A and B are shown apart, each in its own frame.
Chain A
Amino acid sequence: MRGDFTTIPFKLRKTMTKSLVNIAELSKEKIQYLLDMAQLFEKDPNLPMLKNQVVATLFFEPSTRTRLSFETAANRLGARVIGFSDPKATSSSKGESLKDTIMMVSNYADIIVMRHYLEGAARYAAEIAPIPIVNAGDGANQHPTQTMLDLYTIYQTQGRLNDLDIYLVGDLKYGRTVHSLIMAMRFFNPTFHFISPEELKMPQPYIDFCDENHINYVIDDEFTAQSISHADILYMTRVQRERFTDLVEYERVKNSFILHADMLTHCKDNMKILHPLPRVNEIATDVDDTKYAYYFEQAKNGLFMRQAILCDVVGITAEDVKSKM
């Protein structure tokens, strides 16, 4: 099936492939399947599964970190990469519609990895494109590959996804990654702890989501060695000044949600600290040398997970991958 992909008519190709737009669309089985597939790439990241294929990375909004991760994934799979990282250099800055850009690139590439500053852009692209779209972030809306790499990291460090105590710390109001994580973890009976300043607390719709899905949660505004002693996962996020309407409040709380090494004296042995990166100062550098720090490995897992996703969207199965190992 591989290799002759471009000779298959557009309409038929569309039925064989599936875009990844939104984490909520993935079933429990599909999540587990992608985790297992990422594990294969962790064992051997240099399998030429996408040989002779072209992956387009269209970054209508710059994100060097995400783009490098996707492009490394594509390159290690043997694909060639085209695309842009700066929309100012493209015709969309001359007023070309998203549709026209997507249709044009679909003539050249087999997969489009797309980041866009507008929300819903990936859903729309997936509807019109004859080739699969992988959403690499659409505004404040979705960033499903980040969530999948978070799940992979939790699975990798804990050996399971079920029945974990996951502490989400910092900006729970605007933090897209923590919202998606709650959504994806709904299958696995987690207990969440929401630790944030009052101004950045978890929005009500996500609390309602937890209630509707029987997800256990605890709301806390205290961030101390004691309050995190039961954590299996400590998921840190940035508390940004510009998110506050009340700057006096910001000054008051800005140091209350910083993790220092001396706060790790009571924590569980298996506990791991995650962060979507880039960090500013919410994790003190003295934490980096502890056995609990795992954010750099987490970023590396993005490579394996994105390899699995790039294969999956063009219909390459875990069995196909195993047969090449």
Chain B
Amino acid sequence: MTSKIKNKELQVAALQDGTVIDHIPVDKLFAVVTILNLPLMPNKITIGFNLQSKKYGKKGIIKISDCFFDDAVINKIALVAPACKLSIIKDYEVVEKRIVKLPNEFTGVCKCINPKCITNAEPMNTRFHVIGEDRKMLRCHYCEQEMNRDEVKLL
């Protein structure tokens, strides 16, 4: 199983140690690039654009050498590109594969769209609940405003 995954990943570019983010919808690729702050990273980075994907038709992929992200960053990716796949590579092997999924509740990551919300006036963390059957909506924990997750601005 591991070697099969490895071979597939090698089709784009081999990675010794680092993180692969695959199945990014192409219209969200640059948003993910911004979230990860890639332009300011000294690491070796491969970005694939308009690659073939069974799921989306076309997809994006990002490979970053010697870099592993914490949950806060992964939650940000989940907000703009849910269902992309993140793999941790150690010594050319996939040691961990995870589906990027927003937790039911999270802090930080994005701003509340309500200009009259306390979180936009006070130096404090934002906090959101993921709601709706398709989990496409967020509700601000403070002002209770409901918003589409596509319309929020990232912090």
A interface residues with partner B (beta carbon < 8 Å): 22, 97-99, 116-121, 123-124, 138-142, 205
Chain B residues within 8 Å of A, Cβ to Cβ = 114, 116-119, 121-124, 140-146
* Beta-carbon contact of B143 and A99 below 8 Å: no
B123 and A120 form a contact (CB under 8 A):
no
What is the minimal beta-carbon distance from A207 to any residue of chain B, in angstroms?
15
Q: How far is the CA of A41 from the CA of B85 in the complex (A)?
A: 61
Give chain A nearest CB distance to B126 CB in angstroms: 10
CB distance from B115 to the nearest CB of A (A): 10
Grouping DSSP codes into helix (H, G, I), strand (E, B) and loop, the B interface class, with mixed when no group exceeds half, is loop
Given known contacts A118-B122, A123-B142, A142-B144, what 12 new A-B pairs fall within 8 Å (CB)? Answer: A22-B144, A98-B122, A99-B124, A119-B142, A120-B119, A121-B142, A123-B141, A124-B118, A124-B122, A138-B118, A140-B116, A141-B143
The answer on a CB contact under 8 Å between B146 and A120 is no
- Complexed CA–CA distance, A142 and B143 (Å): 9
Most chain B CB atoms below 10 A, which of A99, A116, A118, A121: A118
Q: Complex: how many Å from CA A117 to CA B118?
A: 9
Cross-chain pairs A/B with CB under 8 angstroms, 12 sampled: A98-B118, A99-B124, A118-B116, A118-B117, A118-B143, A119-B118, A119-B144, A119-B145, A120-B118, A120-B119, A123-B118, A139-B143
Query: Which residue of chain A has its CB nearest to the CB of B121?
Result: A118
Which residue of chain A has its CB nearest to the CB of B126? Answer: A120
| In the complex, the 6 A-B pairs of residues with the closest C-beta atoms, listed nearest first | A120-B142, A119-B143, A120-B143, A120-B118, A121-B118, A118-B118
Establish whether residues A119 and B114, one from each chain, have CB atoms under 8 Å apart when the complex forms. yes
Cβ–Cβ < 8 Å partners of B142 in chain A:
119-121, 123-124
- Measured CB to CB, the closest approach of chain A to B119, in angstroms, equals 7
Residues of chain B lying within 8 A (CB to CB) of residue A22: 144
Across the interface, which residues of A come within 8 angstroms of B121, CB to CB?
98, 118
Contacts of A120 in B (CB 8 A): 117-119, 140-144
Chain B's nearest CB lies how many Å from the CB of A19? 14
Where chain A touches its partner, the secondary structure class is mixed
Shortest beta-carbon distance, B85 to chain A, in Å? 34
Please, how many angstroms separate the alpha-carbon atoms of A7 and B118 in the complex? 32
A124 to B143, CA, bound (A): 9
> By the criterion CB–CB under 8 Å, are B116 and A117 in contact?
yes
B125 to chain A, nearest CB (A): 10
Expressed in whole angstroms, the Cα–Cα distance for A99 and B140 within the complex equals 19
Verify B122–A139 contact, CB threshold 8 A.
no
Q: Of the candidates B114, B116, B117, B146, which one forms a contact with A205 in the assembled complex, judged by CB atoms under 8 Å apart?
A: B146
**A193–B10 Cα gap in the complex (Å)?**
65
How far is it, in angstroms, between the C-alpha of A140 and the C-alpha of B118 when the chains are bound?
12
Are B122's CB and A99's CB within 8 A?
yes
**Given the complex, which residues of B lie within 8 Å of A116, measured CB to CB?**
118
Q: A118-B117, A119-B116, A119-B117 are in contact. Are A141 and B122 (CB under 8 A)?
A: no
In the bound complex, do residue A141 and residue B144 qualify as a contact, i.e. CB atoms below 8 Å apart?
Answer: yes
> Which chain B residues border A119 with CB–CB below 8 Å?
114, 116-118, 142-145
Minimum C-beta distance from B113 to chain A (A): 12
Enumerate chain B residues within 8 angstroms of A121, measured Cβ to Cβ.
Answer: 118, 142
Which of chain A's residues have a CB closer than 8 A to the CB of B118? 98, 116, 118-121, 123-124, 138
Closest residue of chain A to B114, judged by CB?
A: A119
Known contacts A119-B143, A139-B143, A124 near B124 by CB under 8 Å: yes
Among B123, B140, B141, B142, max chain A CB count under 10 A is at B142
What is the CA–CA distance of A86 and B141 in the complex, to the nearest angstrom? 28
| Chain A nearest Cβ from B121, distance in angstroms | 6
Inter-chain CA distance A139–B123, complex, in Å, is: 19
Using Cβ atoms and an 8 Å threshold, which residues of chain B touch A98? 118, 121-122
- Chain B residues lying within 8 Å of A118, measured Cβ to Cβ, are 116-118, 121-122, 143
Docked complex Cα distance between A119 and B116 (Å): 6
Chain A residues in 8 Å Cβ range of B114: 119
- Interfacial chain A residues near B144, Cβ < 8 Å: 22, 119-120, 141-142
Contact B116 A97 (CB under 8 A): no
